[in-house]
Copies of this chain bind each other. A is one copy, B any other.
Amino acid sequence: MPDPSQKRYLILAEEFSQDPHYGKTLRGVLRYRRESVVAILDTSHAGEAMDGVPVVASVDEALPFAPDTALVGVVTQGGRFPADWRALLRACVERDLDLENGLHVRLTDDCDLVELARERGVELRDLREPPGDLSTATGANLDVDATIVLTVGSDCAIGKMTATCELDLEARRRGLRSVFVPTGQTGIAIAGWGISVDAVVSDFLAGAAERLVVEGGARGDLLWVEGQGAILHPIYSGVTLGLIHGSAPHLYVLCHEAGRTEVEGDATHSPIPGLAELVELHERLSLRLRPAKVACVALNTSALDENGARAAIDDAEAETGLPADDPVRFGAGKLLEAVLNHRG
């Protein structure tokens, strides 16, 4: 992979650039890696701009901005490409752009595309493809010479990755050797490294998480590990607990969306436990050799007005006895300080 900091991205967001859910990867990269994005492709919004980045209607229209890599910027139900994307992906390769993709479906499963990429001398990179040499955890996670902080949450899609990125950004602003450790496709696109842990064979889940913190420890001494799922999520809890034990955090940041009471995207409408109960359960589920405390609560208050947000934050503090804040709305300083106070 070329030096990720030097990449010039054309982000493919056909149909979805304005959709906060399906355009998740576009939005994450635009927010946390703005400097690498030279253009966005979405025919229906061509001629507009997002955060100052031009939106174009075709690969050819993007060429004047000199992209070197086209990144699939959407997530889709079922992880497949929208029906008409095949021509779009071929057009990118024909213009000598590397392709990066974080969907379940792999670029390298399309033999015609693989052949075309070989002819053009470009790379196809599937961000969800786990390393081929993963194995079970060894205990090396306990030897990492860094403070490890894991975001955990009450549900999926409540802002764990965002809280993780905000905390890392704020720590780096303050001059700390801070590292964002990505565990999902959007995080990997942002950071240029990582493992999509939900794509790993179950036996190697903790092993994959362990490898991430070992690698993170070589990059800095304050690691922010992106959490996945939730310990009581009916579908994804296994990923969550494997990540907890494999990444061996010293501290948790508990993420929650104010007002959410049911697991979303799950047909059973499973209720979400209270924050105080989640704090206790996470602490008790920590590795016995690495007892971890919840340092603070990161609250997503995007559905509330400012007064509502402040009230929700006060409620979370009263319920848990821990510092709480919305790191997007009010900055990550308070939460970062809560973590640093624990770190001693």
Which of B139, B235, B242 is A207 in contact with, Cβ under 8 Å?
A: B235
In the assembled complex, the Cα of A232 lies from the Cα of B231 at a distance in Å of: 13
CA–CA, A288 and B199, complex, Å: 26
A276-291: contact bitstring with B at CB < 8 Å (1 yes, 0 no)?
0000010011011100
B270:A239 contact, CB within 8 angstroms:
no
B203 touches A268 (CB 8 A): no
Given the interface pairs A199-B201, A237-B242, the reply to whether A289 lies near B270 with Cβ below 8 Å is yes
Q: Which one of A207, A240, A268, A287 has the highest number of Cβ atoms from chain B below 10 Å of its Cβ?
A: A268
> A136 within 8 Å of B by Cβ?
yes
**Is A60 close to B, CB under 8 A?**
no
Q: Which of B233, B242, B267, B273 contacts A238 (CB 8 A)?
A: B242
List of B residues within 8 angstroms of A270 by Cβ: 287-289
Residue of B nearest to A234 (CB): B245
Question: Is A202 interfacial (CB 8 A cutoff)?
Answer: yes
Which residue on B lies nearest to A269, using beta carbons?
A: B289
> In the complex, how many angstroms separate the beta carbon of A105 from the nearest chain B beta carbon?
13
**A137 CB-CB contact with B under 8 Å:** yes
- Determine whether the beta carbon of A136 is less than 8 Å from that of B235: yes
Which of these, B200, B241, B271, contacts A237 with CB under 8 Å?
B241
- A280 — nearest CB in chain B belongs to which residue? B284
Asked if A271 contacts B245 (CB within 8 A), the reply is: no
A266 nearest in chain B by CB position: B139
Query: Most chain-B CB neighbours within 10 Å: which of A137, A231, A237, A287?
Result: A237
Q: Which residue of B lies closest to A198 (CB)?
A: B203
Contacts of A231 in B (CB 8 A): 241, 285
Within 8 A of B (CB), among A247-276: 266-268, 270-271, 273
- Give A127 Cβ to nearest chain B Cβ, in Å: 15
- Give bound CA distance, A284 to B284, whole Å: 11
Q: Closest approach, in angstroms, between the C-beta of A148 and any C-beta of chain B?
A: 14
A76 within 8 A of B: no
Residues in chain B near residue A238, CB distance under 8 A: 202, 205-206, 238-243, 245-246
Contact of A284 among B198, B234, B281 (CB under 8 A): B281
Q: Closest 7 interchain pairs by CB?
A: A238-B242, A139-B268, A205-B238, A139-B267, A198-B203, A241-B241, A238-B238
- A-B contacts, 26 of them at CB < 8 A, read A139-B268, A198-B201, A198-B202, A199-B202, A200-B201, A201-B201, A201-B202, A202-B239, A202-B242, A205-B238, A206-B235, A207-B235, A232-B245, A232-B287, A233-B245, A234-B289, A237-B242, A237-B245, A238-B243, A238-B245, A239-B242, A240-B241, A268-B289, A270-B289, A271-B289, A281-B285
Q: A198-B202, A202-B202 are known contacts; what are 7 more A-B pairs with Cβ within 8 Å?
A: A199-B202, A202-B242, A203-B239, A206-B237, A232-B288, A238-B238, A238-B245
